[in-house]
Amino acid sequence: MRAMHDNVDIIRLGDHKAGKKPRSLREVTLEGVEPECPGVHTLHFKDSLPLAPGQFYMIWVPGKGEIPLTASIISPGDNRGLTVAAVGEKTHMLNRMRTGDRIGIRGPFGSGFHLRDDWLWVGGGIGASPIVASLSALVEAGQKATVVLGSTRADALILRRRAVALLEDGGDVTGGAADVAAGEAGGGAGDEAGGMAGDEADKHPDIIPDDGIYSTPRGSLHICTDDGTAGYRGLASQLAHSLIMERKGSGQKMFKGLAACGPEPMMLTLLELAGLHGLHCQFSLERFMKCGVGICDSCTMDGLQICRDGPVFDGAALSEMGEFGRFVRDLSGRKIEVWKHGRRFTAAEEGDGGDAGPADPADS
Amino acid sequence: MTVEAGGLRMANPVMLASGILGETGKSLLRVHEAGAGGVVTKSIGFETREGHANPTFLEVAGGYINAMGLPNPGLDEYAPELMTAVAGGAVVVGSIFGSDVEEYARLATRVQEYGTKAVELNLSCPHAQGTGMELGTDPRLVASITAAVKGVVAVPVFVKLTPNITDIRDIADAAAAAGADAVVAVNTLKAIAIDAGARVPVLGNRVGGFSGPALKHIGLRMVWDIYSMFHGPDGSPSGGRTPAIIGVGGIETGVDAAEYILAGADAVQVGSALVDGGPEAPGRIARELCEWMDASGFTTVDEFRGLAYRNSLRE
């Protein structure tokens, strides 16, 4: 099913010729480590290079490795945030970091989302990162957004307090957060035994009603969980479908477009949905990355490079990409299925081997 | 601007270097369709290799350092990619690496079967039984590998030379005597990046290979040395086999390519320039070279190949 032909320009700040600075390695100091849910933290730091929502950094953990991570926080000034799920060796290490620790960054790289009024934005699991980053830019620009954030279950939801804060007053709910007490006691901030981590994470009362919908004049947030422990019971793609049908039925104008980031099977479904309803769309993809600048071809898909031609692609491009939703390349370049042995691939596990852990931290 | 370099015919003398955008046939075709005269695949062996851990690539002053570690899915898996590129009309040169003479010969035979128009021997890999020294630093090994491959394939055989050597002429000479149709000069220069803040090497493999603009004058000099060795003090070819020379190292513009040809190259390869310039870089450089030739009054590459060397003899 083809999505409508797009004339949406995808922002490509990452390869702007303003200088080679994005490609140079630089170190940043963490100004805060904020728990999102067990096994997931947002790392706060400052960086002055302009960043468009959807772009990513290559994050170097000295002695451990380097992985691509999309920014979840783009605040006024130079505030940046990366939301990291502990799914492998490097991401576990990042989850145990504290304020004052240093990481290396290259970037930002790649294409960002084009930000327009009255789109439906869907974030599945850790894919919430660039969606919430986009929300902050949309709110700042006075553009309305409908956001779906989905997860397997309630205690795996991430970035929802931030989304609420953005919709409420356009502001930042945390000022660069403190470490989790469990982390300081040496338990490891990424512990799944984080009943305590969960309590810390809810310093701010959860102001989303039971139906999982939070609306303000700026837009609305819709929460969903696979098991129904919070908000709508079902997949993010199902909720998206439901919201589209609601607009259709109510006589309201249809969403102007659909943007998404999350598990590739989810995005494949959403591409078909967009096609059925004639919606423009943009999706943020991921693949294993090595050079991050479009040279080594590790992140290749249908002859394109995710790090340079993407990670954000419009519907027209995606409709031509036969590997989308079906195949990835492993670190040797061998073609493998997106689903393998019941586990879904994730670029954050680069180099950790096949048994590094579940694709969804909430499953561990 | 058709050229023939070491028996390989191409629409222009600007090729894609090995290791760039070579994971799939479609990626290679992208560079071909944007105007590259030829495309060299990533280096392929028999075994699957994941390559080194990240960081594998770093931008530094004057260029880049990479330590990819020869990642490749193995020839069996890669064969469809080769065939896709060939079927799409690209002039494909298959780059191969092995641990011993026999492996090179077997790889070359297979790679020819898939339709590559030439074979390029990557000798910048450590000897299996060795000290870790690159194969390409041993003239006798270079000669025996080259001879073995020449003995089993019909397509031209290119030998890629490492600059990590005292005198590249020794190796070029050994390759030529063993029948190499062309020598490709040069591969990356050994390098390391140390991060002062973290106080450790940056790359996962610690050491890597330097490439990019700062390598240009080094590559140029090596082409110059090889050309002068094969063309004697009066500029005419010396006795014996005279292989073509394919120049590589820091080429970003058509004028850079012209400089390499003036130094003695029959063709050139482009790699690092794709970081800034994308898949279009080799094609763009070819067009710029064409413009330079027009402006300078040259119709063919033959007219000015090695001209700077010959000019320098007239004192």
Of A193 and A202, the one with more pLDDT: A202
Most B CBs within 10 Å, among A67, A332, A336, A350, to test the B interface: A332
pLDDT for the residue numbered A350: 62
Least confident of A19-23, A183-187, A208-212, B189-193: A183-187
The count of other CB atoms within 10 Å of the CB of residue B295 is 8
Do you find a cis peptide bond into B71, omega within 30 degrees of 0?
no
Query: pLDDT tens across B126-155, in order?
Result: 766 656 678 999 999 999 999 999 999 999
**To the nearest whole angstrom, how far is the Cα of A135 from the nearest Cα of chain B?**
31
Q: What is the pLDDT confidence band of residue A204, given thresholds at 50, 70 and 90?
A: very low
Residue A344: C-alpha distances to residues A39, A265, B206 (Å): 18, 9, 31
Q: What is the pLDDT confidence band of residue B314, given thresholds at 50, 70 and 90?
A: confident
Q: What is the pLDDT confidence band of residue A172, given thresholds at 50, 70 and 90?
A: low
Test B55 with A350 for CB contact under 8 angstroms: no
Query: Is it the case that residue A360 has pLDDT exceeding 80?
Result: no
| Mean pLDDT (chain B, rounded) | 95
Least confident of A169-178, A203-212, A335-344, B44-53: A169-178
Query: Is it the case that residue A187 has pLDDT exceeding 50?
Result: no
Test B54 with A351 for CB contact under 8 angstroms: yes
Chain B residues within 8 A of A334 when measuring between CB atoms = 48, 73-74, 77
Total beta-carbon pairs less than 8 A apart between chain A and chain B: 135
Residue of B nearest to A23 (CA): B59
DSSP letter, residue B133: -
**To the nearest whole angstrom, how far is the Cα of A288 from the nearest Cα of chain B?**
11
Chain A residues within 8 A of B51 when measuring between CB atoms = 290, 331-332
Question: What gap in Å lies between CA B197 and CA A39, rounded to an integer?
Answer: 28
**To the nearest whole angstrom, how far is the Cα of A14 from the nearest Cα of chain B?**
11
Query: Is it the case that residue A14 has pLDDT exceeding 60?
Result: no
Test B72 with A20 for CB contact under 8 angstroms: no
Cα B239 from chain centre: 25
Query: pLDDT tens across A309-354, in order?
Result: 999 999 999 999 999 998 999 999 999 988 765 566 777 776 554 4
% of chain A beyond a pLDDT of 70: 78
Chain A residues within 8 A of B42 when measuring between CB atoms = 297, 333
Look up the pTM and report it: 0.90
Structure tokens at B23: 């994971």
Chain A residues within 8 A of B60 when measuring between CB atoms = 24
Please provide residue A335's backbone torsions phi and psi, each rounded to the nearest 5 degrees.
Answer: -80, 125
Of A211 and A279, the one with more pLDDT: A279
pLDDT for the residue numbered B129: 61
Residue B205: C-alpha distances to residues A298, A328, B46 (Å): 17, 25, 22
Question: What gap in Å lies between CA B56 and CA A289, rounded to an integer?
Answer: 10
Quick one: average pLDDT of A203-207? 49
Query: Is it the case that residue B21 has pLDDT exceeding 50?
Result: yes
Question: What gap in Å lies between CA A322 and CA A290, rounded to an integer?
Answer: 23
Test A303 with B50 for CB contact under 8 angstroms: no
Q: What is the pLDDT confidence band of residue B315, given thresholds at 50, 70 and 90?
A: low
Pair type for strands A56-61 and B57-60:
unpaired
Test A291 with B276 for CB contact under 8 angstroms: no
pLDDT for the residue numbered B241: 77
Chain B residues within 8 A of A104 when measuring between CB atoms = 195, 197-198, 202
Q: Which residues of A222-239 are buried (b: 16+ CB within 10 A; e: fewer)?
A: bbbbbeeebbbebbbbbb
Test B57 with A335 for CB contact under 8 angstroms: no
Most B CBs within 10 Å, among A59, A60, A101, A295, to test the B interface: A295
Test B202 with A65 for CB contact under 8 angstroms: no
% of chain B beyond a pLDDT of 90: 91
Query: Is it the case that residue B206 has pLDDT exceeding 80?
Result: yes
Test A25 with B276 for CB contact under 8 angstroms: no
Query: pLDDT tens across B72-130, in order?
Result: 999 999 999 999 999 999 999 999 999 899 999 999 999 999 999 999 999 987 766 65
Quick one: average pLDDT of B208-230? 97
Query: pLDDT tens across A134-156, in order?
Result: 999 999 999 999 999 999 999 89
Test B20 with A296 for CB contact under 8 angstroms: yes
> Would you call B290 a catalytic residue per the annotation?
no
**To the nearest whole angstrom, how far is the Cα of A102 from the nearest Cα of chain B?**
8
Residue tagged active-site, from B21, B85, B125, B176: B125
Q: For B120, how many CA atoms within 13 A lie in the half-sphere containing its CB?
A: 32
Sorted by sequence, the CB contacts under 8 Å of residue A103 that are 6+ apart come out as A27, A28, A30, A43, A45, A59, A60, A61, A94, A97
Question: What gap in Å lies between CA B247 and CA B179, rounded to an integer?
Answer: 19
pLDDT for the residue numbered B151: 98
pLDDT for the residue numbered B131: 60
- Comparing CB atoms, the residue among B50, B197, B275 nearest residue A102 is B197
Quick one: average pLDDT of A209-216? 86
Residue A192 and residue A38 in contact, taking contact as beta carbons nearer than 8 Å: yes
Most B CBs within 10 Å, among A64, A296, A327, A336, to test the B interface: A296
Structure tokens at B31: 């560079």
Quick one: average pLDDT of A209-233? 92
**To the nearest whole angstrom, how far is the Cα of A188 from the nearest Cα of chain B?**
22
**To the nearest whole angstrom, how far is the Cα of A25 from the nearest Cα of chain B?**
7
Query: Is it the case that residue A36 has pLDDT exceeding 80?
Result: yes
Query: Is it the case that residue B69 has pLDDT exceeding 50?
Result: yes
Helix H segments across B48-116? 75-87, 101-113
Most A CBs within 10 Å, among B33, B54, B194, B269, to test the A interface: B54
Test B27 with A303 for CB contact under 8 angstroms: yes
pLDDT for the residue numbered A353: 47
Test A62 with B58 for CB contact under 8 angstroms: no
User: At what angle are helices B168-177 and B216-231 packed, to 10 degrees?
Assistant: 50
Query: Is it the case that residue B193 has pLDDT exceeding 50?
Result: yes
Query: Is it the case that residue A239 has pLDDT exceeding 90?
Result: yes
Query: Is it the case that residue B233 has pLDDT exceeding 60?
Result: yes
Chain B residues within 8 A of A15 when measuring between CB atoms = 278
Quick one: average pLDDT of B292-296? 98
Q: What is the pLDDT confidence band of residue B45, given thresholds at 50, 70 and 90?
A: very high
Q: What is the pLDDT confidence band of residue A359, given thresholds at 50, 70 and 90?
A: very low
The contact set of A with B (CB < 8 A) is 15, 17, 20, 23-25, 27, 58, 60, 62-63, 65-67, 102, 104, 106, 289-298, 300, 302-305, 308, 329-335, 350-351
